[in-house]
Amino acid sequence: MRQVESRIDPRSEVFGANTDWYRGMVATLRERQQEAISGGPRRDRSIERHLARGKLMVRDRIDLVIDGGSPFLELSTLSGFGQYDDTAPGAGIVTGIGLVHDVPYVFIANDATVKGGSLLPVSIKKHVRAQQIAEENELGVIYLVDSGGAFLPLQDEIFPDKDHFGGSFYRQARLSAQGLPQLSVVLGGCTAGGAYVPALSDEVIMVEGIGRIFLGGPPIVKAALGEIVDPDELGGADVHTRMSGVSDYIAADEHEAYGLLREICQSTNQRPIGDRQSWANWQPPEPPAYDPSEIYGIVNADDRIPFDSVEIIARMVDGSRFAAFKPEWGSSIVCGFARIWGHLVGIVANNGIIFSESALKATHFIELCEQRRISLLFLQNTSGYMVGRDSEVGGIAKHGAKMVAAVANATVPRYTVLIGGSYGAGNYGMCGRGFNPRFLFAWPNSRIATMAAATAETVLVDIRLGGLDADSTSEEEIAALRAEVRNQYETQSDPYYATSRLWDDGLIDPVDTRDALGLCLALASRQDDAPASRPLVYRM
């Protein structure tokens, strides 16, 4: 593979201006993440009370479980951002991937300083998403349980439906049957539904004095039976480890519990991170030849000015080497092979609007990767598929559909990063959330919506003027509609709006993208190869 020859001039004025703008965005991202982690004034009192009870903060707990000095890939840190009156930083739950004795595990850990660790609608979505990641990547799950269970005021949005609370228990039971260890440490009250997280686990540790499990807590027992009972006598660590058998081990404090958990992990018989299977093509990695932080200067502050995705790829892949496929044809999509942390990947990246040729090229390339069993990485930056009479006559709908069908059916591991716009059906053809990529990350400059705000404004005004009420619509009403649509689209296509709702697995700094993807690819490389997809019917 040849090294990309960059055409970027890092000394140019526009590069400098872009860099300043992007660094500002990264600073905002860090600030917001920090606030989600450590609180803000409204959470100070609950953090104080939590610490006064001798309990550790949720991320300190995770640090004590994972291998010293190893990274933790935290997912969706900004879930819940701007929702629920800003009272649910991180949705009150931390999820991510960390190593224990070199074996990767998914962590699902409640943050009891946010609404007592109870689960809001977005928290349950985050919990279930972490379990999905465990299933696809064949990872055991470590639950650090400190939760008031369902957030009761919103019970209709978390209890009854598919992928609500019941779905999380359904998945937990099935993950265990898949041979993926389900391990719990109980660090707080697990009431009602919450009691099933430990009860469905393969092995359970309870921490004396703070861990409690009961189907009905003391208030419910009092209401139902008139019994007044102390919480520890009802469901403390002693009761469940020495009498009921709901728990398997008792620990005097959190430190002892995490030591015990690490001991348990020594006999889970799971494949370690470096245990690459024969299909996974790997070579010793090399850093990119071009500095990844130059991405800040390449992405244009003015999103109407395109940037070349090859320049981005060059700052993400090993040795900046990229073997482009069909470089002279369908150039609004770039396809080609590269390595990320040594793992061979096929990359599909947008360079603007998707035309028929680009869609056909991408379809051909996806099929190549599927046949050769090479993981696929999609870098989204598109306003969608080309519209207009020439495109329609040229069959853009059927060519786009071929790309969508190929993406949907590829059985090799697929990953997506939103590096710019993700609009319209471009989101689908480029393996958006609906197409179940194993991981989907977004950059702080990304935008996601059916269409850009300016286009939506025109479309919706035209629809109104073509409708039954057209004659009675005043100029003022049209102006108000324009403003309302623009405001709605600008708000809803903001990456913080998206990440808050878990449309991605997290907003990441472009510079960290290579490392995050390296870990994701390593997870897949320890799995057996999946059977290739069956032949599809492509509309020719």
Q: Which parts of this chain interact with ligand COA (CB under 6 A)? A: 46, 115-116, 118, 148-153, 189, 191-194, 217
Closer residue to ligand COA in complex, CB, 116/346 = 116
Cα separation of 418 and 427, whole Å?
A: 9
In the complex, minimum distance from the CB of residue 500 to ligand COA, in angstroms, rounded to a whole number = 20
CB 236 within 8 A of CB 222: no
Q: Is the dihedral of CA 449, 445, 84, 416 positive or negative?
A: positive
Closer residue to ligand COA in complex, CB, 157/494 = 157
| Cα–Cα separations (whole angstroms), residue 400 to 336, 368, 419, 447 | 19, 17, 21, 21
In the complex, minimum distance from the CB of residue 55 to ligand COA, in angstroms, rounded to a whole number = 9
- CB-count burial class (<10 Å; 0-12, 13-18, 19+) for 12: exposed
Closer residue to ligand COA in complex, CB, 112/251 = 112
In the complex, minimum distance from the CB of residue 229 to ligand COA, in angstroms, rounded to a whole number = 14
In the complex, minimum distance from the CB of residue 501 to ligand COA, in angstroms, rounded to a whole number = 20
In the complex, minimum distance from the CB of residue 195 to ligand COA, in angstroms, rounded to a whole number = 9
In the complex, minimum distance from the CB of residue 184 to ligand COA, in angstroms, rounded to a whole number = 16
In the complex, minimum distance from the CB of residue 149 to ligand COA, in angstroms, rounded to a whole number = 3
CB 123 within 8 A of CB 93: yes
Closer residue to ligand COA in complex, CB, 42/242 = 42
Closer residue to ligand COA in complex, CB, 151/428 = 151
Cα separation of 338 and 317, whole Å?
A: 6
Closer residue to ligand COA in complex, CB, 189/437 = 189
Closer residue to ligand COA in complex, CB, 164/438 = 164
Three-state SS for 150-198 is: ECHHHHHHCCCCCCCHHHHHHHHHHHHHCCCCEEEEEEEEEEHHHHHHH
Which residues is 451 bridged to in the sheet? none
Closer residue to ligand COA in complex, CB, 146/294 = 146
Closer residue to ligand COA in complex, CB, 235/384 = 235
Structural element, H or E, at residue 496: helix 495-500
Cα separation of 168 and 173, whole Å?
A: 9
CB 438 within 8 A of CB 136: yes
Collapsing DSSP to helix, strand or coil, 214 comes out as: strand
Closer residue to ligand COA in complex, CB, 36/66 = 36
In the complex, minimum distance from the CB of residue 211 to ligand COA, in angstroms, rounded to a whole number = 11
**Angle at the Cα of 436 (from 366 to 420), degrees rounded to 5?**
75
Cα separation of 251 and 183, whole Å?
A: 15
DSSP string, 266-295: TTS----TT---TTS-B------SS-GGGH
Measured between its terminal Cα atoms, the distance across the chain in Å is 33
In the complex, minimum distance from the CB of residue 141 to ligand COA, in angstroms, rounded to a whole number = 20
- CB-count burial class (<10 Å; 0-12, 13-18, 19+) for 162: exposed
Which residues is 119 bridged to in the sheet? 150
Closer residue to ligand COA in complex, CB, 46/281 = 46
**Angle at the Cα of 233 (from 229 to 236), degrees rounded to 5?**
130
| Cα–Cα separations (whole angstroms), residue 264 to 96, 205, 267 | 20, 10, 6
User: DSSP class of residue 386?
Assistant: -
In the complex, minimum distance from the CB of residue 329 to ligand COA, in angstroms, rounded to a whole number = 57
Which residues is 442 bridged to in the sheet? 418, 507
In the complex, minimum distance from the CB of residue 43 to ligand COA, in angstroms, rounded to a whole number = 9
Closer residue to ligand COA in complex, CB, 217/236 = 217
Q: Helix 165-177 vs helix 121-137: angle between axes, to the nearest 10 degrees?
A: 20
In the complex, minimum distance from the CB of residue 86 to ligand COA, in angstroms, rounded to a whole number = 13
